[in-house]
Amino acid sequence: MAVGHTESAGHLAALVSSSDDAIISKDLNGTILSWNAAAERMFGYTGDEAIGQHITLIIPSDRTAEEDFVLGRIRAGLRVEHYETVRRRKDGSTLEVSLSVSPIHNAHGVIVGASKIARDITEQKYHQRVAEEASRAKDQFLAALSHELRTPLNTILGYIQMQQNRSVTPDLHAKALDVMERNARSLARLVDDVLDTSRIVTGKMRLDLRPTELGPIVQQAVESIRPGVENKGLTLATEIEPDLTAQADADRMNQVLWNLLSNALKFTPAGGAITVTARRDGRLIRIAVTDTGVGLTQAEIPLIFQRFWQGEGDARGHGGLGLGLALARHFVELHGGRMTAISPGPARGSTFEIELPAR
C-alpha cells in the first residue's frame, strides 16, 4: 500500500510540475506554500522567492479585497470557479487570468488551505476585445451607411412622388431635377467609396498610370465645389503652377482632390476660406488644401486616415462614412506619394498636403 501511495504522490507531483497552468497552494492566512514551474514562468518569481510570501505578492494593490472574498469562500468549504481577474508579475506588468480555487482538507477533513489554479487568458481576452471592437465598428458602419443612403434616397423619392402627383410647378421643375441629380451623384460616390474600400481590402485595386498634367485635374476639382462655396459664403483662392506632370491615374487623383476639397467645404463655417495650391518643388509636386474650418487636435491627426474613423464633437455631426480620407491617402500612396495633415488646433483650420514624384 505504501508503494502505491508513493507512486500516486509521484504522479501527482509530475502533473503539477508539467502543467501549463500556475498551480499554487496557500494556507488560510494567505501564505504561499507551493509554487510550480508554470507559476515561475507566469509571474516571474522562483519558488524560493514566492514560497513563504503572502499571496498579495502577485495581486495588484487595487484588487487585494479579492483575496478576502476568496478566503471567505474557502473557509466556508466553497470553491471559486473560473474567476477572471488581473494579477501582477515580478516586473510590475499585469496579466489577465482565470482562477479556480479549491479548499485543501487535512486527514481529519478540516480545511487548512487552498489550492489555486491560474490560467493566463491575456491573449484570449485580447482577441475577444478585438472581435467585440470589430463587431461594434461593423454595426456603426452599417448604421452610418443606412443613414447616408436613406437621406438622398428619401429626397429623390420625394421629388419623384411630387412629379407623379403633378404637384411640382413649372418653376420648381428645374430645381427638382437639379436636386435629384445632386443626390443621385452623392449616392453614386457613396457606393463607389464602399466598392473601392472592398477592392483595397481584397488587394484588387489597380491604377491606370500614365503621364498626366495635374493642373487641370486640380482646377476641375476646384470647380466642382465652387457652387457649394458660393452658397456657403466662403472665399476660395487657388494658385496652380503650370507643367505639373506626374505618372498618375487621372480619375483617382480627381477622386483624391474631390475628397479633400469636399471635406474643406463641409468643415469650414460660413465666412471662412479655402486655399488650394499646386506647385513644383524639385523632384516633387506638392498639392495643398488649406481651410479655416473646425481643425484637428494633435491626438486626432494620427487617426484621421483610418477607415471608418470620424472626429468627435462638431466633426462627427457632419455625417459620412469615414472612408474619404482613408481612400485618398491609399490612392496617393499607390502613386508613390504621401499625404499629410497639419492643424494648429480645434477651430483653427487644417491643411492637407499631397506629395507626388514629378515625372
Set out the domains of the chain in order of their start, with CATH numbers.
Answer: 15-120 (3.30.450.20), 139-201 (1.10.287.130), 210-357 (3.30.565.10)
The radius of gyration computed from the CA coordinates of the chain, to the nearest angstrom, equals: 32
From first to last of its 359 residues, what are the pLDDT tens digits of the chain? 444 545 554 545 555 655 889 999 999 999 999 999 999 999 999 999 999 999 999 999 999 999 999 999 999 999 999 999 999 999 999 999 999 999 999 999 999 999 999 999 999 999 999 888 888 877 877 777 787 788 888 888 888 888 888 777 777 778 888 888 888 888 888 888 888 888 887 888 888 999 999 999 999 999 989 989 999 999 999 999 999 999 999 999 999 999 999 999 999 999 999 999 999 999 999 999 999 999 999 999 989 998 877 665 444 455 567 788 999 999 999 999 999 999 999 999 999 999 999 98
Q: Given this model, what pLDDT does residue 315 score?
A: 46
Res 250: pLDDT: 95
Quickly count: other Cβ atoms within 10 Å of residue 348's Cβ: 12
Location of C-alpha cell 473601392: 196
The 3-state DSSP class for residue 241 equals coil
Task: Tell me which residue of 309, 298, 308 sits closest to 341, measured CA to CA.
Answer: 298
Q: Which residues, at least 6 apart from 59, have a Cβ–Cβ distance to it below 8 Å?
A: 66, 67, 87, 88
